[in-house]
Structure 1
Amino acid sequence: MSGRSVSPFAAIGLTYRLLLRQLVSRGRVLALLAVGLAVAAVAWAVGSSSDVTDPLEASVGVIAGLGFTVVVPVVSLVFATAALGDAREDGTLVYLWLRPIDRWPVVVGAWLAALTVSLPLTLGPLALAAVLSGEAGTIFGATMLASIVGVVAYSAVFLLVGLLVKNPIVWGLGYVLIWEGVISAFGSSAAQLAISGYTRSIVTAMTDVDVDLGDQSLAAGVIVPILVAVVALFVAARRLDGMDVA
């Protein structure tokens, strides 16, 4: 590695530009945008319903129950696993390996590329959902902060998953649907390993509306997922360093 001459920042930029072009496909963007807009439609229906006794609680329930359980993790999963997975399949990683660069900037560049696509596809629909719910004054900031924290953490974790296992989409969906959706509801220890518990905690702390699994402090809701992202990126870099991509 000592003989590699391209600076880390230049390597990150090179990787980012290459992978970003590969990630942005019409099919992926439209399909995941449709999922987010469906959540916005549900929020509008709830906000405009005269049968809802507590509009704020109902709106938070939609954002937490659909936004942080479906939109944020699934969008992050699709793009993060594709960032290096697609590059490996089409030979882009081999091209990068032929240049004098280290491995960790490739991981960071791939993660940033996934974030660049995932953030607009989550923040946009969930911001619209907050506005259409009629409770934007209370939930908008919490929704945006929790969404950003969630995408940052999920993207790093799923980038690592894409390097560790075959069929990472299946494993990622298993984690989201089974672990976060079912197992974490039965014990506090399991909930501490669910990223959605921390995003929900942000919303609970900022809106004073109790949400399932949202029992962490605001500080923990922000700091723990960021630390998870750092660790996941570190492990991914180590994993990539020992992989044969040819």
Structure 2
Amino acid sequence: MYDPTVARLTYRGLLGRRRALILGALPVLLIVISAVVRVLTGADDQVAHDVLGGFALATMVPIIGVIAGTGAIGPEIDDGSVVYLLSKPVKRPAIIFTKLIVAIAVTMAFSALPTFVAGLILNGNGQQIAVAYTVAALVASIAYAALFLLLGTVSRHAVVFGLVYALVWEALFGSLVSGARTLSVQQWALAVAHKVSDSSLVTSDVGLPTATVLLIVVTVAATWYAGQKLRTLTLAGEE
């Protein structure tokens, strides 16, 4: 299912100079903020929780997921260059699967690693807070990449819709409306983080069994449907 050529082309597209700068901006900002906060407040578990939960997991991870997930295929569909890829002897589900793996890897690299570094800066991983939020970032990266890759296959405005989901649904409704939290990738990831952490600060409104099932279902369903949508793209001469 995994195609090295498709992966190489996708990595090249995602990690081009301009996109790499965009991907790197938020992680750098997170680390800078963490360093400044540590100097001003010292090691504090509550502060570490606030920064990692409020900025890293709630804002940085989904935005990076939007950039990586939609960028893995959206631009190729928008400019029509996807026809060259589809003309190759590669099965279309394999194309989607490969692009998903690349999107997940890029999202993890630009979100989980900076989250761990920021956690070490903030409180030296006291009460396993840095590790817990790093695990949450890793888990969330998988679901976000699948969701936003799907958006990239179904809409020319995938980035806009992705940002609306990340910043309005996850950040706004997810924090204000209790029912919306059950349908929040952030809360699912926090359920896993809660299991890892030794701190009572790291909590989720969704139980771990429910979160695990939803993470798997959403990831698999989004990947499957993206593959089906790619099947509907036809080339000249195809019947």
TM-score strictly above 0.5? yes
CA deviation vs aligned residue, 1:57-86 (integer Å, no higher than 9, x gap): 220111011011111111110121111112
Determine the C-alpha separation between the residues in 1 that align with 2:230 and 2:184. 25
Instruction: Identify unmatched segments of 5+ residues in structure 2.
Output: none
Match of 1:25 among 11, 16, 28: 16
SS of alignment partner, residue 133 of structure 1: helix
The 1:46–1:223 alpha-carbon spacing in structure 2 relative to 1, beyond 3 Å, is farther
Q: 1:189 — aligned with what?
A: 179
SS of alignment partner, residue 73 of structure 2: helix
Deviates more, 1:219-228 or 1:180-189: 219-228
What's the CA shift for 1:90? 4.6
Q: 1:5 — aligned with what?
A: none
What's the CA shift for 1:40? 1.9
CA deviation vs aligned residue, 1:166-220 (integer Å, no higher than 9, x gap): 21111111111111112223333311111111223333343333357x2223444
The 1:73–1:89 alpha-carbon spacing in structure 2 relative to 1, beyond 3 Å, is same
The 1:75–1:205 alpha-carbon spacing in structure 2 relative to 1, beyond 3 Å, is same
Determine the C-alpha separation between the residues in 2 that align with 1:245 and 1:64. 45
Q: 1:199 — aligned with what?
A: 189
Instruction: Identify unmatched segments of 5+ residues in structure 1.
Output: 1-7
Q: 2:88 — aligned with what?
A: 99
**Contact 2:181/2:205 (<8 A) preserved:** no
Q: Give the alignment of 1:1-12 within 5 angstroms.
A: 8-9=1-2, 12=3
Q: Please, what is the CA RMSD of the aligned residues?
A: 2.2
Task: In structure 1, give the amino acid aligned to 2:13.
Answer: Q
Determine the C-alpha separation between the residues in 2 that align with 1:161 and 1:101. 22
Match of 1:237 among 219, 223, 227: 227
Q: TM-score, normalised by structure 2?
A: 0.88
Task: In structure 2, give the amino acid aligned to 1:157.
Answer: L
Identity %: 26
Paired residues, what number?
234
Match of 1:77 among 66, 69, 91: 66
